[in-house]
């Protein structure tokens, strides 16, 4: 039964979907909603269930329980050929016996569209992906980036309501990946279709999507914009999967207004940090600070209410051109810090191995994240 | 290595296979054709001198229905074998490695018993007093007085039985290399299971189909034991006639002329297929 779209924000609905393979729960009670026209990513390490979820949206796997809706229509029981969804496969899966033109025309021919509509549709798509002059070639005669674009055109020509892209950049080399990233964003903007990416690469997900669902062990850990995921991860898994992070375990000793909490950490004093959720006194907490949020100085930074400062010894360092990374030991902690410049802001000597330094960060840059396994 | 010497080197590299082809195929074929132009002698050998008499003899219109029967039986056997082999290899290429080996073994096992014995098995199976005939009569699937043996249909059945593995093996080799992810892509693009199979799987194993067709068709053309053992008196194939000329009439030139004619009847269409393939490849480039 097709129902009119009631709410554009609930365009694609994953409703309590689970899937088990043998003894393994590949997807464990996942619920998500994706808005119409949104670029959305399923991000996670291999085996987290993101590909299984994608295959269930495409129709190649049937969920054990739960429902999948597109535009208000329940598609859970539909075979892949009847879904308003098309897929760009990881290895592109272009038909080797057909030309580029015939590959793109395949879907329209399957739905028995009139000849004229097929011709104009395919030609329009070839223009969109800038492959018009390669229309007569076979897929094997194209470069990786060109094949990728044929795969996108072959899917988009059917005007799917949702376009699924399975690791779209994984098969490309680094340089081409940067380029295709921009191109995918441009295509998404141009066609306005809902894009669902599946990727294990956090950089890819961050630059391609409006929102990201970070998945781990069959469950969704957090759904948020790239900025929020990076700045305010809710779990230590999200914090460590997206970018680098330093983690500390401590006990809440003082609750302040507006979500600030002072946490006693062995060897670091009691830094003041922000918490996303409710925290009670004496609760054991996990803190997270991004390496680039920590500033290094040779002298103690001017003390104040809003600065967390502690001392350490430089253990190791690596120069990356645009920035330098330091591994600093403070008590039993090994802390990663990253500086934009190779020189200290507090002086103009490079910190050497074994040098004693001060590390400091603003309370807004420290976050309380959920302990692993805690609800 | 300079560019000029490359063709020479390529010739050198193909020399062993060319020699093999020449010794085992081209020279015997030429000998057969030459024999057709020699007179027969009374001892069953070849007499001195040259003659065109044999060529006139084999133009006997009585051979036409036999040639026609040979061609359509071989063609029908090829089509039936392909139709039976396609679903088999489709499944075989998708099951696990261990299951695949078991299935391959099952397909090859009948080869381990003698060809004639397997035909005899069919003969007793289809005999009016045989178990299959009796069972079918009991089930009322065939009339009481039906004779399953000595019929052109029986020849076709046994031809299909003997040739099926020759269709399965080359097709399996092609199906094993087929990327089954392409079927997902076809389904994703709106093709039902059957259309995904016919529009993507069948073109994907096209080379296997061609080699299986050639294999089965050519093997059928030369058959004479099967029509002789399970067919009726009016179900002869050209192979039966050739065998008869060699073994009963002891007329080698006549047999050679028939064999040469059959060879031409096969080679000319095959040449067309090969040229068509070459043309297709050029067009793709």
Which domains does chain A show, CATH number per domain?
A: 8-236 (3.40.50.300), 244-369 (2.40.50.100)
Please indicate, yes or no, whether the overall pTM of this predicted structure exceeds 0.90.
no
Question: Is-contact B80 B168, C-beta < 8 A?
Answer: no
Q: DSSP readout, A306-333?
A: T-EEEEEEEEEEEE-SS-EEEEEEETTE
Q: Which residues contact B283 (CB under 8 A, 6 or more apart)?
A: none
- Give the model confidence (pLDDT) of A213-248 as tens digits: 999 999 999 999 999 999 888 888 999 898 888 999
Which site among A51, A79, A81, A125 would you substitute to test the B interface, given the most B Cβ atoms closer than 10 Å to its Cβ?
Answer: A81
Residue A261: strand pairing partners: A255, A273
Instruction: Determine whether the interchain pair A111/B190 forms a contact, defined as Cβ–Cβ distance below 8 Å.
Output: yes
pLDDT of residue A8: 65
- Give the model confidence (pLDDT) of A163-221 as tens digits: 999 998 888 888 888 888 999 999 999 999 999 999 999 999 999 999 999 999 999 99
The Cα B41–Cα A24 span in angstroms is 81
- Give the model confidence (pLDDT) of B37-74 as tens digits: 988 887 878 888 888 888 888 888 989 899 899 999 99
Q: How confident is the model at residue A371 (pLDDT cuts 50, 70, 90)?
A: low
The Cα A43–Cα A241 span in angstroms is 9
Q: Which residues contact A114 (CB under 8 A, 6 or more apart)?
A: none
Q: Tell me how close the Cα of A35 comes to any Cα of chain B, in angstroms.
A: 22
Give CATH superfamily name and number for B63-249. Answer: MetI-like (1.10.3720.10)
How far is CA A18 from its chain centroid? 21
Q: How confident is the model at residue A374 (pLDDT cuts 50, 70, 90)?
A: very low
Q: How confident is the model at residue A253 (pLDDT cuts 50, 70, 90)?
A: confident
How far, in Å, are A128, B187, B209 from residue A220 at the CA level?
34, 28, 47
Instruction: Determine whether the interchain pair B189/A106 forms a contact, defined as Cβ–Cβ distance below 8 Å.
Output: yes
Q: What is the overall mean pLDDT for chain B?
A: 88
Q: How confident is the model at residue A348 (pLDDT cuts 50, 70, 90)?
A: very low
Q: How confident is the model at residue B266 (pLDDT cuts 50, 70, 90)?
A: confident
Query: Which residue is associated with the tokens 């008196």?
Result: B233
- Give the model confidence (pLDDT) of B123-133 as tens digits: 888 888 888 88
Which site among B178, B179, B188 would you substitute to test the A interface, given the most A Cβ atoms closer than 10 Å to its Cβ?
Answer: B188
The Cα A153–Cα A142 span in angstroms is 14
Instruction: Determine whether the interchain pair A81/B190 forms a contact, defined as Cβ–Cβ distance below 8 Å.
Output: yes
Question: Is-contact A94 A103, C-beta < 8 A?
Answer: yes
The Cα B237–Cα B228 span in angstroms is 9
Closest chain A residue to B202 measured between Cα atoms? A97
Domain range list for chain B? 63-249
Tell me which chain B residues have a C-beta less than 8 angstroms from the C-beta of A79: 187, 192
pLDDT over 70 at A347, yes or no:
no
Closest chain A residue to B200 measured between Cα atoms? A95
Give the range with max mean pLDDT: A286-295, B25-34, B194-203, B271-280: B194-203
Tell me which chain A residues have a C-beta less than 8 angstroms from the C-beta of B182: 93, 95
Q: How confident is the model at residue A301 (pLDDT cuts 50, 70, 90)?
A: confident
pLDDT over 80 at A346, yes or no:
no
Q: DSSP readout, A198-247?
A: EES-HHHHHHH-SEEEEEETTEEEEEE-HHHHHHS-SBHHHHHHSS--EE
Which of A262-266, A356-360, B80-84, B275-279 comes out lowest in average pLDDT?
B275-279
Tell me which chain A residues have a C-beta less than 8 angstroms from the C-beta of B200: 95
Tell me which chain A residues have a C-beta less than 8 angstroms from the C-beta of B284: 138
Tell me the mean pLDDT in the region B4-17.
77
Closest chain A residue to B183 measured between Cα atoms? A93
Tell me the mean pLDDT in the region A335-352.
67
Tell me the mean pLDDT in the region A134-158.
94
Q: How many percent of chain A have pLDDT more than 90?
A: 55
Instruction: Work out the end-to-end distance of chain A between its first and last CA atoms, rounded to an integer number of angstroms.
Output: 37
Instruction: Determine whether the interchain pair B186/A79 forms a contact, defined as Cβ–Cβ distance below 8 Å.
Output: no
pLDDT over 60 at B1, yes or no:
no
**DSSP label of A370:** B
Instruction: Determine whether the interchain pair B189/A138 forms a contact, defined as Cβ–Cβ distance below 8 Å.
Output: no
Q: What strand order describes the sheet that includes A65-70?
A: A24-34, A12-21, A65-70, A73-74
Instruction: Determine whether the interchain pair B187/A86 forms a contact, defined as Cβ–Cβ distance below 8 Å.
Output: no
By C-alpha distance, which of B141, B117, B147 is closest to B129?
B147
Tell me the mean pLDDT in the region B111-125.
88
Strands A211-216 and A39-43: parallel
Tell me the mean pLDDT in the region A57-83.
95
3-state helix, strand, coil in chain A (%, to 5): 30, 35, 40
A283: left (phi over 0), alpha (psi -120 to 50) or beta: beta
Strands (E), chain A: 12-21, 24-34, 39-43, 65-70, 73-74, 85-88, 162-166, 194-199, 211-216, 219-224, 246-255, 260-264, 272-275, 284-289, 295-297, 308-319, 324-330, 333-339, 356-361, 366-369
Nearest to B188 among A87, A94, A111 (CB): A87
Nearest to B184 among A93, A106, A158 (CB): A93
Q: How confident is the model at residue A375 (pLDDT cuts 50, 70, 90)?
A: very low
A96: left (phi over 0), alpha (psi -120 to 50) or beta: alpha
Question: Is-contact B148 B133, C-beta < 8 A?
Answer: yes
- What are the tokens at B171? 């097709």
Q: Which residues contact A77 (CB under 8 A, 6 or more apart)?
A: A62
pLDDT over 50 at A149, yes or no:
yes
CB atoms within 10 A of CB B268: 9
Q: Tell me how close the Cα of B96 comes to any Cα of chain A, in angstroms.
A: 16
The Cα A250–Cα A275 span in angstroms is 13
Which site among B177, B182, B185, B282 would you substitute to test the A interface, given the most A Cβ atoms closer than 10 Å to its Cβ?
Answer: B185
- What are the tokens at A369? 């994240």
Residue A160 or residue A366, greater confidence: A160
The Cα A257–Cα A247 span in angstroms is 23
pLDDT of residue A7: 47
- What are the tokens at A269? 């004093």
Residue B233 or residue A209, greater confidence: A209
Tell me which chain B residues have a C-beta less than 8 angstroms from the C-beta of A57: none
ipTM rounded to 2 decimals: 0.80
- What are the tokens at A365? 């840059």
Tell me the mean pLDDT in the region A10-16.
93
pLDDT over 60 at A141, yes or no:
yes
CA atoms within 13 A on the CB side of A320: 10
Q: How confident is the model at residue A36 (pLDDT cuts 50, 70, 90)?
A: very high
pLDDT over 80 at A330, yes or no:
yes
Instruction: Determine whether the interchain pair B184/A154 forms a contact, defined as Cβ–Cβ distance below 8 Å.
Output: no
Tell me which chain A residues have a C-beta less than 8 angstroms from the C-beta of B185: 87, 89, 93-95
Q: Which long-range contacts (CB under 8 A, 24 or more apart) does B110-118 make?
A: B110/B165, B111/B165, B115/B162, B115/B225, B116/B225, B118/B161, B118/B162
The Cα A106–Cα A101 span in angstroms is 9
> What residues of chain B have any CB closer than 8 angstroms to a CB in chain A?
179, 181-182, 184-192, 195, 199-200, 203-204, 206, 284
Tell me which chain A residues have a C-beta less than 8 angstroms from the C-beta of B195: 110
Instruction: Determine whether the interchain pair B190/A158 forms a contact, defined as Cβ–Cβ distance below 8 Å.
Output: yes
By C-alpha distance, which of A363, A38, A19 is closest to A223?
A38
Question: Is-contact A212 A233, C-beta < 8 A?
Answer: no
Tell me which chain B residues have a C-beta less than 8 angstroms from the C-beta of A58: 188
How far, in Å, are A20, A63, A135, A228, B67 from residue A138 at the CA level?
39, 36, 8, 44, 42
pLDDT of residue B12: 83
Tell me the mean pLDDT in the region B276-285.
67
Q: How confident is the model at residue B265 (pLDDT cuts 50, 70, 90)?
A: confident
Question: Is-contact A180 A188, C-beta < 8 A?
Answer: no
């Amino acid at each position: 039964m097709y129902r009119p779209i009631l709410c554009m924000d609930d365009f694609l609905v994953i409703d309590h979907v689970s899937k088990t393979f043998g003894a393994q729960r590949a997807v464990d009670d996942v619920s998500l909603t994706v808005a119409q026209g949104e670029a959305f990513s399923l991000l996670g390490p291999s085996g987290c269930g993101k590909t299984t979820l994608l295959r269930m949206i495409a129709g190649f796997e049937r969920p054990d329980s739960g429902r999948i809706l597109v535009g208000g229509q329940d598609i859970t029981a539909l075979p892949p050929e009847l879904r308003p969804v098309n897929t760009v496969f990881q290895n592109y899966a272009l038909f080797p016996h057909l030309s580029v033109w015939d590959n793109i025309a395949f879907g329209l021919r399957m739905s028995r569209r009139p000849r004229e509509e097929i011709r104009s549709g395919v030609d329009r798509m070839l223009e969109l992906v800038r492959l018009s002059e390669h229309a007569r070639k076979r897929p094997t005669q194209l470069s990786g980036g060109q094949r990728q674009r044929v795969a996108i055109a072959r899917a988009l020509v059917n005007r799917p309501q949702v376009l699924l892209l399975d690791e779209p950049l994984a098969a490309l080399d680094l340089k081409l990946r940067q380029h295709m990233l921009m191109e995918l964003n441009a295509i998404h903007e141009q066609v306005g279709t809902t894009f669902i990416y599946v990727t294990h690469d956090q950089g890819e997900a961050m630059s391609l999507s409006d929102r990201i669902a970070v998945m781990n062990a069959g469950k969704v850990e957090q759904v948020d914009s790239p900025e929020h995921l990076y700045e305010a991860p809710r779990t230590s898994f999200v914090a460590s999967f997206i970018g680098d992070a330093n983690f500390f375990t401590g006990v809440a000793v003082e609750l302040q207004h507006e979500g600030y909490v002072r946490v006693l950490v062995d060897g670091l004093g009691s830094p003041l940090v922000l918490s996303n959720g409710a925290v009670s006194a004496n609760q054991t907490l996990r803190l997270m600070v991004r390496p680039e949020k920590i500033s290094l100085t040779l002298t103690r930074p001017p003390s104040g209410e809003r600065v967390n400062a502690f001392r350490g010894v430089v253990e190791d360092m690596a120069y990356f051109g645009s920035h330098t990374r330091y591994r600093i030991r403070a008590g039993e902690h090994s802390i990663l810090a990253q500086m934009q410049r190779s020189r200290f802001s507090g002086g103009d000597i490079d910190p050497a191995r074994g040098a004693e330094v001060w590390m400091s960060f603003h309370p807004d840059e420290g976050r309380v994240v959920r302990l692993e396994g805690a609800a | 290595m300079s560019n000029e010497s490359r063709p020479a080197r390529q010739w050198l590299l193909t020399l062993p296979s060319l020699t093999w082809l020449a010794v085992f195929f081209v020279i015997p074929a030429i000998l057969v054709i030459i024999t057709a132009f020699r007179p027969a002698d009374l001892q069953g050998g070849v007499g001195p001198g040259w003659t065109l008499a044999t060529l006139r003899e084999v133009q006997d219109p009585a051979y036409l229905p036999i040639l026609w029967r040979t061609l359509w039986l071989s063609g029908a056997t090829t089509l039936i074998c392909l139709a039976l082999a396609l679903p088999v290899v489709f499944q075989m290429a998708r099951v696990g490695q261990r299951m695949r080996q078991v299935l391959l073994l099952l397909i090859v096992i009948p080869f381990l018993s003698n060809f004639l014995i397997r035909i005899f098995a069919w003969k007793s199976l289809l005999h009016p007093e045989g178990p299959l005939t009796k069972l079918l009569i009991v089930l009322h699937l065939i009339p009481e007085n039906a004779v399953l043996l000595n019929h052109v249909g029986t020849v076709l059945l046994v031809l299909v039985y003997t040739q099926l593995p020759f269709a399965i093996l080359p097709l399996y080799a092609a199906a094993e290399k087929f990327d089954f992810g392409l079927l997902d892509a076809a389904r994703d693009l709106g093709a039902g299971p059957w259309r995904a199979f016919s529009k993507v799987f069948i073109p994907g194993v096209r080379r296997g189909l061609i080699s299986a067709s050639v294999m089965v068709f050519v093997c059928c053309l030369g058959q004479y034991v099967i029509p002789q053992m399970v067919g009726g008196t009016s179900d002869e194939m050209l192979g039966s006639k050739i065998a008869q000329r060699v073994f009963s009439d002891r007329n080698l030139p006549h047999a050679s002329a028939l064999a040469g004619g059959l060879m031409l009847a096969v080679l000319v269409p095959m040449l067309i297929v090969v040229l068509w393939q070459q043309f297709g490849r050029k067009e793709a480039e």
